[in-house]
Chains A and B, each alone.
Chain A
Amino acid sequence: MAGSLALLLLRGDDRIWIRRLALVVSLAEFVLSLWLIRAFDSSEPSYQLEEARKWISSPPINYHIGMDGISLFLIILTTILTPIAILASWNSINDRVKGFFISLLMLEAGVIGVFVSLDLVLFFLFWEVMLIPMYFLIGIWGHDRRIYAAVKFVLYTMFGSILMLVGILWLFNRTGSFDLPAIQAALQAGRVSLSLNEEMLIFGAFFLAFAIKVPLFPFHTWLPDAHTEAPTAGSIMLAGVLLKMGTYGMLRFCLPLFPAAAHRLAPIVAVLAIIGILYGALVALVQTDLKRLVAYTSVSHLGFVVLGIFAFNATAAQGALYQMLNHGISTGALFLLVGMLYDRRHTHEISEFGGLATPMPVLAAFFLFVSLSSLGLPMLNGFVGEFLILNGTFEQHARWAVIAAIGVIFSSLYLLWAYQRTFFGDVTREKNRTLPDASARERGMLWVMAAIILFMGIASPLITSRTESSVRQVFDEMRRNDKPQPVFAKQNVSPASPTQEAQGR
């Protein structure tokens, strides 16, 4: 998949053709990724479609990729959002066009690489490599304070990941392998057992990297800056897929490899997640900048995802996975819409808008639809995820769920209020009166997003049935690896989740 990137590197600098080529490449990848669904066998819980090649002999680092139900839809999410991001920047990027699309496609390759790597070093490699295109996307094509935001983004992420590298190497020294399935096998067979202290430290090294990426509450400060300053396509990719790498990492590495540490630290993580939910929502409420507002909703929504993962139950984790996809689509669409407003007025200030529904009814309608999906209206995608998370969490820790549910209320508050100030009422600025409504290209993108939102809201079993066995597998492994922890190990009673999907509808 990533190989197709090489094509673009060789092209000249004819703008129109670069755009078209980038679009074609990304669409081709999308089609290829759809083929993955067909090739995917949902009854098989472990890795599929594996590919392994020798790479470095000592220490043994191999090119080992594969996927399971958890990564499947994240890959598809990535391949959906990339063409959208390319279309979103069709007219707004006119400077160094070639570099822009190269960066965008490299970013896609890096992210997909993260989702499919089964070798820890390979994972780390993609994780780091994708920083550079994102750095350039923010730093070159961003807004006024772009350099500050870009450097902050890279330094934060790098701080976490370099410690993760130390963690990876430590794990390697104990298990003698970088290969994820091999490490899991070794841990399960009891050939390697980590002392609790050691486990906590390695868990910490991994978790910190993921928590910064997510971003979890005290590590979130890079996110509003990065989002606000990034170009639309950058924001879409950042919110849509990059943040998911953090939660994906938690689900893939932190839980199954270090169950004892995860159990012990779960209360702290959950508290941070809940603070993130409420704090993100409250801060979003007071934003005067529309893009910054959407950025803070990410902090809040990702808090839900982390909570779902650390509730240690298959229902909540399913919900978390679903919410990752939702958030990618909904927030991606929100950034897309905000970007469209920016293209017209070159500002993100809410006070500059007002009454926009009059000149542009179509855009307003889509904005409302997407906002509703983001705040979790039944029938739309956001509801399914939030419901599963809260339901699953409630079974384990009723109090957590109750507090987190307040966040849902807040989210309707800030989104609808922002919507009202932007679109309803009289047109407050004279120049807003003549703004053009959505063009055919924009409508096309928005219809696609809206269709996905509706599809994911109604047909959720089509997706959850494919992710279910893999999510269960995570917790099975967790239980098997986690032997003598009587105090902290709660039993993971996981009721059949299809019935809950029925309720979800």
Chain B
Amino acid sequence: MFPSHQDMIRFAPEIVLCVAGILIMLIEPFAGRAHRRVVDVMAVLGAAAALAAVVLPMRNSGTAFSELLRVDAFSVFVHAIVGTVALLAVMAAPSYLDREALPHGEFFALVLFAAAGMGVLASAQDLITAFVGLEISSIASYILASYRRNSPRSNEAALKYFLLGSFATAFFLYGVALIYGSSGTTSLPKIDAGTTQPMLLALGLALLFVGLAFKVAAAPFQLWTPDVYEGAPAPVTALLSTGPKAAAFALLLRIYMTVEHASSLWFWALWISAVVTMFVGNLTALVQTNVKRMLAYSSIAHAGYILVAFAAQSALGTAAVLFYLAAYALMKLGAFTALSWLSGPGERHMELDDYAGLASQRPVAAACFSLFLLSLLGLPVTAGFLGKFYIFDAALKSHLIWLAVLLALNTIIGAYYYLRVIVAMYMRPARRDFPVGKVPAGIATVLALAAAGTIALGLFPNYVIEFAARAATMLK
């Protein structure tokens, strides 16, 4: 059956991303060295167009491609996050790629393909579609992680990511197979009705959970995260820690809220995983001296916070997850982007001591970086605070008082290591001349946009939270 006009519209963002990626690959060899900026511009335009194309499915919600995809407010919300992440990532990348003498074209194409995969993941209504999306985004991510070819760390990161990632995908696929065996379908809304062997289904769902928990870096499947995030090039880390996470969380949510068997089965797994993830992430982040690695552990902790909202198992919880994902994407992307520039050529300056006295040399960059850190810490007037606020609210409404208290404790632990970076930047004397020059325009724009977004979500969240609430009702 040939896809209809309507299907194409609902799939528009992914189509735009793929076309832009392919065009970049085709044009780059012809553009040559003299015109390499053409590729940069094209990538930005492609990502921006994809973000704009999100409007199309918003106006035309429904299913597409024989119910393989479901396009509704929920998937549109996640698409918007993914699109923003991709756009900011390609805007920030050129100066980094120049500095590290890395080719431009492939990088942008891979970022756009990865974003397309995440988009598929966000709107998948069928487990097979989800698997395809997962693979598209994962394979692009593996290559991106190894993008600094000459750096052993980058290679190590990629290899680790690839091996463990394939393993997790295998889990996922095996889970899908078992679910198909027990219910005769891979379409999410039909699984409950079709189930004949609940035990087999339970096993399948458990495997599915493992596969996705790996993708969102939830304990005990988080071990790959610090190495990969530290080793991958900083702009890639910015992308990896935000986009795929949002997409995988979206799929997890969709399964969790649509398949009733999953809701009952996963609750305690989520509860325990949330607690362990928060503590593991925060406690190990405490002892890190490498800022990039510290941020990697902090992103594990944040996955734990999001899982708390999951466990709430309500529309409010779903809205909280979505809002937090948006806030988290902005602040984390901002933080890693700032890092990608501050670390200097070869990313040699990642230690806490390297940041001593930064505030007096680069006041604006230091202020932006501090803002992202404070937002990650969850201080009011930033997006991070309201995100946490909604999670608390959802958890308490569902009577998960202990989970809320543990989350509160973790916030305090987190405060210590975020503040340490600020202490270094503002309160310690500069150790040596910091080797960074003027902020490149691309990175400056991204920092400004992310900072503005972080503040705007913290001060005027009405539109976003209402959208998230509407999206949440779509799932039930």
Bound complex: CA A59 to CA B469 (Å): 11
Interface stretch, picked from A169-177, A249-257, A434-442, is A169-177
B423 touches A124 (CB 8 A): no
19 pairs, A vs B, C-beta closer than 8 Å:
A56-B386, A56-B461, A57-B462, A57-B466, A58-B466, A58-B469, A125-B380, A128-B380, A128-B385, A140-B427, A147-B423, A159-B412, A162-B408, A163-B405, A163-B408, A169-B393, A170-B401, A173-B393, A173-B397
User: Does A180 sit within 8 A of B, measured CB to CB?
Assistant: no
| Cα of A166 to Cα of B403 in the assembled complex, Å | 11
Taking CB atoms, residues of chain B closer than 8 Å to A129 are 379-381
- Asked whether, in the complex, the Cβ of A139 is within 8 Å of the Cβ of B360, the reply is no
- Which positions in B face A, CB cutoff 8 Å? 360, 374, 379-381, 385-386, 389, 392-393, 396-397, 401, 404-405, 408, 411-412, 415-416, 419-420, 423, 426-428, 461-462, 465-466, 469
Instruction: Check A165 against B389 for contact (C-beta < 8 Å).
Output: yes
Query: Nearest Cβ in chain A — how far from B292, in angstroms?
Result: 22
Smallest Cβ-Cβ distance to A142: which chain B residue: B427
Tell yes or no: A5 within 8 A of B by CB: no
- The smallest C-beta distance from B296 to any residue of chain A, in angstroms, reads 22
B423 touches A151 (CB 8 A): yes
3 pairs of A and B residues whose beta carbons are closest in the complex? A125-B380, A139-B427, A162-B408
Cα A151 to Cα B427 with chains together (Å): 11
A96 within 8 A of B: yes
Q: Quick check: B396 and A170 within 8 Å, CB to CB?
A: yes
Q: Which A residues form the contact surface with B (CB < 8 A)?
A: 56-59, 96, 121, 124-125, 128-129, 131-132, 135-136, 139-140, 146-147, 150-151, 154-155, 158-159, 162-163, 165-166, 169-170, 172-173
B424's closest neighbor in chain A, by CB? A147
A-B contact count, CB below 8 Å?
77
Residue of A nearest to B415 (CB): A158
Closest to A159 in B: B412
With A and B bound together, what is the CA distance between A416 and B468 in angstroms?
Answer: 63
Contact: A132 with B379, CB < 8 Å? yes
A315 to B361, CA, bound (A): 55
Residue ID in chain A nearest B463 by CB atoms: A57
Q: Which residues on the A side are within 8 Å of B360 (C-beta)?
A: 96
Indicate if the CB atoms of A166 and B461 lie closer than 8 Å: no
- Contacts A121-B389, A139-B423, A147-B427 known; 8 new A-B pairs at CB < 8 A: A56-B386, A56-B462, A56-B465, A58-B465, A128-B379, A132-B379, A151-B420, A173-B396
Q: How far is the CB of B27 from chain A (nearest CB, A)?
A: 44
Report A-chain residues with C-beta under 8 Å of the C-beta of B404.
Answer: 166, 169
A169 and B392 form a contact (CB under 8 A): yes
Q: Give complex CA distance A154, B420 in Å.
A: 12
Report which residue of A59, A139, A162, A173 has the largest number of chain B beta carbons within 10 angstroms of its beta carbon.
Answer: A162
Q: In the assembled complex, which residues on chain A have CB atoms less than 8 Å from the CB atom of B420? A: 151
User: Which residue of chain B is the closest to A135 with respect to CB atoms?
Assistant: B419
What is the minimal beta-carbon distance from A169 to any residue of chain B, in angstroms? 5
Whether B416 pairs with A155 at a CB distance below 8 angstroms is yes
Other-chain residue from A56, A58, A155 in contact with B415 (beta carbon distance below 8 A): A155
Which residue of A96, A158, A172 contacts B412 across the interface (Cβ within 8 Å)? A158
Residue of A nearest to B462 (CB): A57
Measured CA separation A169–B397 after assembly (Å)? 9
Which residues of chain A are within 8 angstroms of B419 by Cβ–Cβ distance? Answer: 135, 151, 154-155
Q: Who on chain A is nearest to B427 by CB?
A: A139
Given contacts A56-B462, A124-B380, A158-B412, contact A166 B427 (CB under 8 A): no
CA distance A162 to B404 in the complex (A): 10
**CB closest residue in chain B, given A146:** B427
Q: Are A150 and B423 in contact (CB under 8 A)?
A: yes
Give the Cβ gap from A137 to chain B, nearest Cβ, in Å. Answer: 11
Complex CA–CA separation, A129 to B374 (angstroms): 11
Q: Are B408 and A151 in contact (CB under 8 A)?
A: no
Q: Which residues of A contact B411 (CB under 8 A)?
A: 158, 162
Residues of A within 8 A of B469 (CB): 58
* Min C-beta distance of A53 to chain B, whole Å: 12
Most buried by A among B386, B396, B466: B396
In the assembled complex, which residues on chain A have CB atoms less than 8 Å from the CB atom of B401?
Answer: 170
Docked pose: A150 CA to B424 CA in angstroms:
13
Closest to A160 in B: B412
Measured between beta carbons, the chain B residues less than 8 angstroms from A158 are 411-412, 415
